Amino acid sequence: MKIYVLKRLVIIVPLLIGITMMTFLLLKAVPGDPVFSMVGERANPETIEMIRKEMGADRGIFHQYNGYISLLLRGELGRSYFTNRKVLDDIAIKLPHTLLLAVFAMALAGCLGILFGVLSALHPNRSIRRTITLLSLAGLSVPVFWSGLMLMIFFSLWLRLLPPSGTGEIRYLILPALTLSLPAAATIARITRFTVVDIAAMPFIGTARAKGLDELHITFVHIMRNALIPVVTVIGLDFGSYLNGAVLTETIFGWDGIGRFMMEAIVKRDYPVIMGCLLTGTTLFILINVFVDIAYHFIDPRVRLDASDR
Amino acid sequence: MHLTGRISASVLILIFVMSLLSPHLTPYDPDAVDLNSLREPPSVHHFLGTDNKGRDILTRILFGAKISIGIALVASCLSVFMGLFIGIISGYFRGLIDTLLMAVVDLILSFPSLLLAIGISVLFPPGIYTVVISLSAVGWASFARLTRGHVLSLRESSFIEAAEAIGCSHLRTVFVHILPQCIPLSIVYAGMKLGGVILTEASLSFLGLGAPPPTATWGSMISSNRAFISSAPWMVFSPGIMITVTTLCFNFLGDGLREKYDSRRDTYHSMKTS
């Protein structure tokens, strides 16, 4: 157990090195002076001098990478070319919005996915089962940037129920969260269906029926209790898809998170912002994955999620 | 293969053939700006309407199909080749080289795939090749892992032992005995993954990281016209339908292929679009 946790923790290090190497390469690939490409030409001379010294721009590439890492460790992500604001400060403001959106979407995806998954496995009517299964495959095939626009047309422009874009209280959260949850809900529904069908075929379910228990009791007490563990595991491990989707969803709904921040930076080729967002997003993704892995290990010893299973 | 798989294959072939014949099917130029027909709703002349620059949407969808499906197919082929190459080396030679290669695979699979693709495509100048490179750079890792697992089990089988006993070189064993056994699995898996690749390509071009304008791609058609969704919703409606239908058909096809050739049940993660 301890070895497992240790192994998962140790693996973070090469992953983080990989991420920083990628953003460093990005920095080097940008045409022009890498120091300017990190802070922008409008930065004050002291900062430029400080970073130039720190990066060792005239020395070898390993030295430069070293300097880059030590800058990162002090939270120096550079400044935006356009606003001249510190990237880290902006990310600190926008990240909570993204997390709020992701958590809300995750909860929504969990509820929708499990509900439809169970229905598509156990509903007595065969054509309803097939329709839901088909819908869940369709949910995986719709691009979120399009389903978001369609929801916006329907709920905001036709029905005028919800605001089309903006950041703020729950009214603003519903549409982007729903959009973001659709593909995840479809995945969860499919996995729930497979698991429930497997468990429903087991002998102890037959025994429960033979005892004369009613179907609702069997479904919720006997099947669901056993099916939930793998399903909940997948919900947690699927966090990456929310980060992927957040870039697109936030852009469409004008939700002020790091996804939209990055998208706007890509359009303007604002490299320090792109790199800062990529670094934050991927680091977060890896930390959460490792944390979820370890947490499930403690919750349920049967879950032995080796790296090779993913 | 089941019925939905066959129907999906037919729809895909229809889309592909129509996109190849598109210059002969429509009288319009996909990129020519026509200021006399801006944002026209669907009509007899323009079945799906025109866009913000007066270009016929149906024409652009057909030309876009060539780009979108083409990019996805080429990127998938590259991923398969690369995955086969790395996977076979890793599984056949084992030891240190296996550990190193699989560490790289783990690294790539640990990234959120779209973020990684974005990171790679910002590195290169925008263009079709950049999209292909970033899609295959993200895609090959899962193929490599799959192939490696398969090669590891093949290595233990008696026909490989026999090949080694009669003195086959490593090269001959790999190319004549192992590679042919790995290709069907890769094709099935590529079929399952294609839907996801189409979606990622559409997302990249929606974000402005795809083929540069004025080239029509389904993703960029949505992003460039989304400012007009209240007055002209048809401009974003049909490209989205095309992405969805194509992805759905590829997913059905993949499901059908898997049911036919791959009897393993534990494919939860490969069912997810990447």
Q: Which of residues 111-170 of B touch A (CB under 8 A)?
A: 111-116, 118-119, 122-123, 145
Interface test with B, best of A140, A237, A243 (most B CBs within 10 A): A140
In this structure, what DSSP letter does residue A125 have? -
Check: CB of residue B72 under 8 Å from CB of residue B190: no
Place of tokens 């876009």: B64
d(CA B250, CA B106): 26
What residue spans in chain A does CATH classification 1.10.3720.10 cover?
Answer: 91-308
Query: What integer is the mean pLDDT of A246-265?
Result: 86
Give the residue from chain B lying closest to A281, CA to CA: B115
CA nearest B116: which of B138, B86, B92? B138
Distance from CA of B45 to the nearest CA of A (A): 25
Q: Is B56 helix (H, G, I), strand (E, B) or coil?
A: strand
**Does the model's ipTM exceed the 0.95 cut?**
no
The dihedral of CA A142, A143, A147, A153: what is its sign?
negative
Cα–Cα distances in angstroms (integers) from residue B36 to residues A273, B42, B51, B222, B225, in the given order: 41, 15, 12, 22, 18
Give the residue from chain B lying closest to A31, CA to CA: B123
Check: CB of residue A182 under 8 Å from CB of residue A107: no
Please report the beta strands in chain B, taking only residues with DSSP state E, as ranges in sequence order: none
Is the CB of A21 inside 8 Å of chain B's CB atoms?
Answer: no
Partners of A241 on chain B (C-beta within 8 Å) are: 112, 272
Domains, chain B, in order of start with CATH, read: 3-16+58-273 (1.10.3720.10)
**A244 closest CB neighbour out of B103, B114, B230:** B114
pLDDT per residue as tens, chain B (274 positions): 678 888 988 999 998 888 888 888 777 777 777 777 777 777 777 777 777 777 888 888 888 888 889 999 999 999 999 999 999 999 888 888 888 888 888 878 877 888 888 888 877 778 889 899 999 998 899 899 889 988 988 888 888 889 888 988 888 888 888 898 888 888 888 888 888 899 999 999 888 888 887 788 888 888 888 777 777 777 888 889 999 999 999 988 888 887 777 555 444 444 443 3
DSSP of A87-103, one letter per residue?
Answer: HHHHHHHHHHHHHHHHH
A125 sits in the region (left: phi over 0; alpha: psi -120 to 50; else beta) called beta
Is the CB of A159 inside 8 Å of chain B's CB atoms?
Answer: no
Give the pLDDT confidence score for residue A239 in this predicted structure: 74
The dihedral of CA A24, A29, A34, A37: what is its sign?
negative
Place of tokens 């140790």: A10
Interface test with A, best of B111, B204, B242 (most A CBs within 10 A): B111
Bridge partners (DSSP) listed for residue A86? A79
Helix count and strand count (H, E) for chain A: 14, 0
Give the residue from chain B lying closest to A144, CA to CA: B203
Contact yes or no for A153 and B240 at CB 8 A:
no
Asked if the model's pLDDT at residue A309 lies above 70, the reply is: no
d(CA B31, CA B240): 19
HSE-CB at A71 with a 13 A cutoff on CA atoms is 27
**B203 closest CB neighbour out of A23, A143, A157:** A143
Q: Which CATH number fits domain A91-308: 3.40.50.150, 1.20.1090.10, 3.30.1360.70, 1.10.3720.10?
A: 1.10.3720.10
Residue type, A284: L
CA nearest B265: which of A194, A297, A39? A194
Is the CB of A143 inside 8 Å of chain B's CB atoms?
Answer: yes
Check: CB of residue B68 under 8 Å from CB of residue B19: no
d(CA A68, CA A148): 38
Asked if the model's pLDDT at residue A304 lies above 80, the reply is: no
Give the residue from chain B lying closest to A154, CA to CA: B230
Asked if the model's pLDDT at residue A176 lies above 60, the reply is: yes
